[in-house]
């Protein structure tokens, strides 16, 4: 595991920084040096060195020492399940699984839950009925005791993948709960709110995705399944409080998701894309990456960096990646095909 300490940044300071600022101390570049001027030059150098040392000491005092990875009470694991979604959230010994990847990720889901020692999954969330989200979810029924199952619908007879998940849920002796937007739940000392979907005239199954914001202390994380700009607009137009420190980008970084309006309203310090290397859709799309670059959040990608973990103590967020901490995260998906 490779640890990348990050700090919840003071955004105003971030925007105030000017990387192109030049020195403007007015000193001539090649002043003649006479014997008389040497002592004053030496004194000047010593004074500057002293100021530099004081600055370094002051900046070290300002920095917080992050706790080592694995020591925070709240943890989000964006699992690398190819061009699909699966996120495990842990808080105070309570667990929530949002999506489970394709059916062929069932082994991974099962193993991760076993390794975590998760005996109970408080919430199992199927954001929507596509195979890359609900296909591997049933592994959780075999790995742990599942509490509440959340999905945007109880049944969808036309949809083989969702119907399979609904049958597996029933076999586990559970019923699907369809949460109303605004529904609130607790996960240990964290809490989450179901914000959407709000779109009523849905043409794309992706826009039925459950949109969830989870808050721990002063830190927050937003999940939106495969919502496109249609559902994004519905939430924006409704005046929903979307602000979050970490955004899981919609629809694996597709060009039709993560609109400018959405990005600037969520205003994340970090964005995570769950996508598969060399996927046939070219996720993440160049236009989406360009919007994230313009917005300025730090970007993480499962296709390049494997499992990505974000931990919070309620104030500070620390990211850990499985591999490639210095990957070129702004390279479009189709550049790997
Ligand atoms: Zn998807």
Q: Token pair of 23, please?
A: 């020195």
The CA distance from 86 to 100, in Å, is 5
Give the tens place of pLDDT for each residue, 40-89.
666 666 767 766 665 454 444 333 344 555 679 999 999 999 999 999 99
Domain ranges of the chain: 74-336
| Span from the CA of 75 to the centroid of ligand 1 (angstroms) | 22
| Span from the CA of 140 to the centroid of ligand 1 (angstroms) | 19
| Span from the CA of 79 to the centroid of ligand 1 (angstroms) | 14
| Span from the CA of 330 to the centroid of ligand 1 (angstroms) | 20
| Span from the CA of 225 to the centroid of ligand 1 (angstroms) | 7
| Span from the CA of 156 to the centroid of ligand 1 (angstroms) | 17
Domain 74-336 has CATH 3.60.15.10: yes
Contact 259, 241 (CB under 8 A): no
| Span from the CA of 33 to the centroid of ligand 1 (angstroms) | 68
The pLDDT profile of the chain, 337 residues, written as one tens digit per residue, is 555 544 444 333 333 333 343 333 433 333 333 344 546 666 666 767 766 665 454 444 333 344 555 679 999 999 999 999 999 999 999 999 999 999 999 999 999 999 999 999 999 999 999 999 999 999 999 999 999 999 999 999 999 999 999 999 999 999 999 999 999 999 999 999 999 999 988 999 999 999 999 999 999 999 999 999 999 999 999 999 999 999 999 999 999 999 999 999 999 999 999 999 989 999 999 999 999 999 999 999 999 999 999 999 999 999 999 999 999 999 998 877 5
| Span from the CA of 130 to the centroid of ligand 1 (angstroms) | 7
Contact 83, 55 (CB under 8 A): no
Give the tens place of pLDDT for each residue, 22-42.
333 433 333 333 344 546 666
| Span from the CA of 251 to the centroid of ligand 1 (angstroms) | 5
| Span from the CA of 303 to the centroid of ligand 1 (angstroms) | 14
SS (H, E, C) the chain: CEEECCCCCCHHHHHHCCCCCCCCCCCCCCCCCCHHHHHHHHHHHHHHHHHHHHHHHHHHHHCCCCCCCCCCCEEEEECCCCCCCEEEEEECCEEEEEEECCHHHHHHHHHHHHHHCCCEEEEEECCCCCHHHHCCCCHHHHHCEEEEEECCCCCCCCCHHHHHHHHHHHHCCCCEECCCCCCEEEECCEEEEEEECCCCCCCCHHHHCCEEEEEECCEEEEECCCCCHHHHHHHHHCCCCCCCCEEECHHHHCCCCCCHHHHHHHCCCEEEECCCCCCCCCCCCHHHHHHHHHHCCEEEEHHHHCCEEEEECCCCEEEEECCCCCCCCCCCHHHHC
| Span from the CA of 301 to the centroid of ligand 1 (angstroms) | 15
| Span from the CA of 209 to the centroid of ligand 1 (angstroms) | 10
| Span from the CA of 226 to the centroid of ligand 1 (angstroms) | 5
| Span from the CA of 308 to the centroid of ligand 1 (angstroms) | 18
| Span from the CA of 104 to the centroid of ligand 1 (angstroms) | 15
| Span from the CA of 73 to the centroid of ligand 1 (angstroms) | 29
| Span from the CA of 206 to the centroid of ligand 1 (angstroms) | 8
| Span from the CA of 275 to the centroid of ligand 1 (angstroms) | 9
| Span from the CA of 135 to the centroid of ligand 1 (angstroms) | 11
């Amino acid at each position: 595991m490779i640890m990348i300490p990050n700090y919840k940044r003071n955004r105003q300071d971030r925007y105030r920084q000017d990387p192109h600022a030049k020195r403007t101390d007015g000193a001539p570049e090649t002043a003649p040096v006479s014997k008389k001027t040497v002592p004053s030059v030496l004194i000047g150098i010593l004074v500057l060195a002293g100021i530099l040392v004081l600055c370094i000491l002051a900046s070290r005092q300002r920095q917080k020492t992050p706790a080592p990875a694995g020591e925070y009470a709240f943890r989000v694991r964006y699992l690398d399940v190819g061009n699909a979604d699966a996120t495990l959230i842990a808080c105070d010994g309570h667990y929530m699984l949002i999506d489970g990847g394709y059916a062929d990720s069932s082994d991974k889901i099962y193993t991760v839950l076993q390794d975590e020692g998760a005996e109970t999954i408080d919430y199992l969330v199927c954001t929507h009925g596509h195979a890359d989200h609900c296909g591997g979810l049933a592994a959780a029924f075999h790995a742990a005791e599942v509490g509440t199952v959340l999905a945007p619908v109880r049944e969808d007879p036309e949809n083989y993948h969702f119907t399979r998940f609904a049958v597996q849920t029933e076999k586990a002796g559970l019923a699907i709960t369809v949460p109303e937007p605004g529904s609130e739940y607790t996960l240990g000392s964290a809490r989450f709110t179901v914000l959407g979907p709000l779109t009523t005239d849905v043409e794309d199954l992706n826009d039925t995705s459950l949109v969830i914001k989870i808050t721990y202390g002063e830190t927050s994380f937003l999940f939106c399944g495969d919502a496109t700009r249609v559902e994004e607009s519905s939430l924006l137009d409704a005046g929903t409080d979307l602000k979050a420190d970490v955004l899981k980008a919609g629809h694996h970084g597709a060009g039709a998701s993560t609109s400018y309006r959405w990005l600037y309203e969520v205003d994340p310090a970090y964005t995570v894309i769950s996508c598969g290397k060399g996927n046939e859709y070219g996720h993440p799309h160049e236009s989406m990456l360009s919007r994230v670059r313009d917005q300025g959040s730090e970007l993480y990608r499962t296709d390049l960096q494997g499992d990505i973990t974000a931990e919070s103590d309620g104030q500070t967020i620390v990211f850990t990646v499985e591999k490639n901490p210095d990957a070129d995260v702004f390279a479009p998906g189709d550049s790997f095909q």
